[in-house]
Structure 1
Amino acid sequence: MYTYYIGIGSNLGDRENYLSFAISELTNTEGVHSVVHSSWIETPPWGPVEQGPFLNGIVKVVSSIEPADMLDTILHIERLAGRQREIHWGPRTLDLDIVWIEDTQGYMVRVNELRLVVPHPYFWERLFVLEPLQEVYPDFLYQGVPIRVRLEELRSVES
């Protein structure tokens, strides 16, 4: 059994509807036992491409699905939502990224494969990931640093 923390975002069309669609699809996936999501927050886009703001959040998924299969599952959900991968960091109907995985004992699961790297390589640098992550996992620690401390650091740099 795994606990996945999946970043979710949309900045095209009916953004909230795309996020709700993803939650519904995850909830109805065989091997998924529970799905809880953070509040949605509106954030500016990340990266060099001019585009509209995102609705972002974190989805906590408890599942017996192995990490590579979970990646296939979320990529399938993105495709169902009309996601097209034409421009790196470009606009998208739905973006799902596995940010963090824990096993049943609460230990971090590392994945370093061509298709999947967990922890997500940039998650510790992004307010739009950490703010909703704190909502669903307030005691989260990374490399001995509490998430609230990291958020304070990032907010002070942005001020």
Structure 2
Amino acid sequence: MQTAGDETVITVYIGLGSNLAEPAMQVRRACEALGQLPESRLLACSSLYSSPPMGPPDQPDYINAVAALETTLSPHDLLAELQAIEQAQGRVRERRWGARTLDLDLLLYGDRQIDDQQLTVPHVGLPERAFVLYPLQEIAPTLVIPGQGPLADLVTRCPENGLQRYE
């Protein structure tokens, strides 16, 4: 953690996913949009990965990535910004785990653990999701997940489940 003036700069990790309307383009555009967030700086965006849908099987495969940012935004302000990017790219919430133009998940907010009605960080599904763990390991191999231990250990215990590097 660093400080910028009076504000604390936090490193955060965002999961990106899409399986509609040119998914690779949707994820790339979202990564660019993350770089334009106020009070934030994009540090890295992983390679793109293709994975089978986690939810209902009657939908296309997903394209996923993970981005790292430095930000002074609060967790809830950052969440609101992520939801605004989703909406700008045509996100419609019709069914849980259904097809979508864009899904942005706040995976980690520094070393904080948050659990309230709007937000759970670290993201609740992180330990079981190859499409998050493998891209996260690509950009932050020595990361330690608050309350869960080293990222490398989580990756070792998580099968790839059809995950493939895209491109």
Q: Fold-level match, TM-score > 0.5?
A: yes
Measured in 2, the distance between the counterparts of 1:13 and 1:144 equals 35
Does residue 138 in structure 1 map to residue 146 in structure 2? no
Q: Which runs of 5+ in 2 are unaligned?
A: 1-8, 163-167
Q: Which runs of 5+ in 1 are unaligned?
A: 103-107
| Partner residue in 1 for 2:68 | 60
Structure 1 runs of 4+ off > 2 angstroms?
Answer: 141-150
Does residue 18 in structure 1 map to residue 21 in structure 2? no
CA contact under 8 A between 1:6 and 1:59: conserved in structure 2?
Answer: yes
Does residue 69 in structure 1 map to residue 77 in structure 2? yes
Map Cα deviations across residues 109-137 of structure 1 (whole Å, 9 max, x no partner): 11111111101011011111100010111
2:116 to 102, 113, 117: 113
1:150 to 130, 154, 159: 154
Alignment of 1:15-94 (within 5 A): 15-94=23-102
| Partner residue in 1 for 2:105 | 97
User: How does the TM-score come out when normalised to structure 1?
Assistant: 0.89
- Residue type at the aligned position of 1:154: C
User: How does the TM-score come out when normalised to structure 2?
Assistant: 0.85
Q: Cα offset for 1:150?
A: 2.2
Does residue 126 in structure 1 map to residue 134 in structure 2? no
Alignment root-mean-square deviation, CA: 1.8
Paired positions, count: 153
Identity %: 33
